[in-house]
Amino acid sequence: MPTLTSDFLDFARDKRADLLGIAPIERFDDVPGDHHPTSIFPECRSVVVVGKRITRGTLRGIEEGTQFDLYGQYGLAWLADRMLAITTITLATWLEDQRFEACPIQDLSPEIPPSGIAVRPDLPAPNVMIDVRAAAVRAGLAEIGYCGEVLTPQFGPRQRFQLILTDAPLEPTPMLAEPVCDRCRACMESCPLGAWDAAGDVSITLSGKTMAVAGIDYAQCRQCRNGAQPNPHHPAGRPDRLGALCVRTCVAHLDETGRLRNAFVTPFRKRPVWHR
């Protein structure tokens, strides 16, 4: 028998949302107020995480070292600010058609500092930034891989996410049980800039899920010219590494070992890699 949640999932699939997870607000209990969804929408009951894939071909120009702009458009700016944003607001309008409020949230790095002053002493200063990557884990879609990026069983590191905060009574998605990352360390071993502290692994726990992540010097990643880019919104934000050599090496590894549901008839990495 169809429910609000099953109808919503059917609609999302029809609108080509590649990934959709639902985190009940209780999975954010350990998040401080200056990054908490209810600081934006106090009646929020569920955080819907919407994802669209970065197609493998979008990485091809960087992998070959001959075309970087197509990733910047179809993998980064256009994907997030146009294609995914349209999917997110389309799903939000569906929820509001059912008479539930739906607040769309883009992926702005939580490292970005507040840019205003609190309007009341009991409220955090604007703008509250929600950690969208962590929300994807809390919604059961993903884990944080050893490379420090979000990995899903469908696409590995190849996707971007946005959120919808809603008071709709949606059924939660279970936390992801199957591991995606096999801790092979090929990602960090490929780094030509020495951004990896091999003895500096850190442990991250999100909604009870604990993941081992490499010690990464993001100051090096901000300077990296191997497919990485500065954060598109703020210099203090996390650099974009989804086209970088380390993460493309993860794409190649997950492909070769058959660990992704989005499989291909040919391998991703066909020639020796370049680096600077």
Q: Which residue ranges make up the site for ligand SF4 (CB under 6 A)?
A: 145-147, 181-187, 191, 193, 195, 216, 220-221, 224, 226, 228, 241, 244-246, 249-250, 253-254
In the complex, least distance from residue 272 CB atom to ligand SF4, rounded to whole angstroms: 16
In the complex, least distance from residue 192 CB atom to ligand SF4, rounded to whole angstroms: 6
Q: How far apart are CA 195 and CA 147, in angstroms?
A: 11
In the complex, least distance from residue 4 CB atom to ligand SF4, rounded to whole angstroms: 36
Both tokens assigned to 160: 């971007």
Residue from 106, 108, 125 nearest 116 by CA:
125
Q: How far apart are CA 196 and CA 191, in angstroms?
A: 7
Q: How far apart are CA 199 and CA 218, in angstroms?
A: 16
Residue type at position 223: Q
Within a 10 A sphere around the Cβ of 15, how many other Cβ atoms? 15
Before 226, cis peptide (omega within 30)? Answer: no
Q: How far apart are CA 179 and CA 153, in angstroms?
A: 8
In the complex, least distance from residue 146 CB atom to ligand SF4, rounded to whole angstroms: 4
Both tokens assigned to 234: 């703020």
Residue from 137, 128, 144 nearest 23 by CA:
137
Both tokens assigned to 191: 């780094």
Element (H, E) at 64: helix 60-64
Both tokens assigned to 153: 């069983």
Q: Give the nearer residue to ligand SF4 in terms of CB position, either 137 or 164.
A: 137
Within a 10 A sphere around the Cβ of 76, how many other Cβ atoms? 18
In the complex, least distance from residue 189 CB atom to ligand SF4, rounded to whole angstroms: 9
In the complex, least distance from residue 237 CB atom to ligand SF4, rounded to whole angstroms: 14
In the complex, least distance from residue 3 CB atom to ligand SF4, rounded to whole angstroms: 36
Q: Give the nearer residue to ligand SF4 in terms of CB position, either 130 or 221.
A: 221
Q: Give the nearer residue to ligand SF4 in terms of CB position, either 136 or 224.
A: 224
In the complex, least distance from residue 87 CB atom to ligand SF4, rounded to whole angstroms: 26
The DSSP annotation for 92-123 comes to HHHHHHTT--EEEE----TTSPP-S--SSTTS
Q: Which residue has the tokens 């800039």?
A: 193
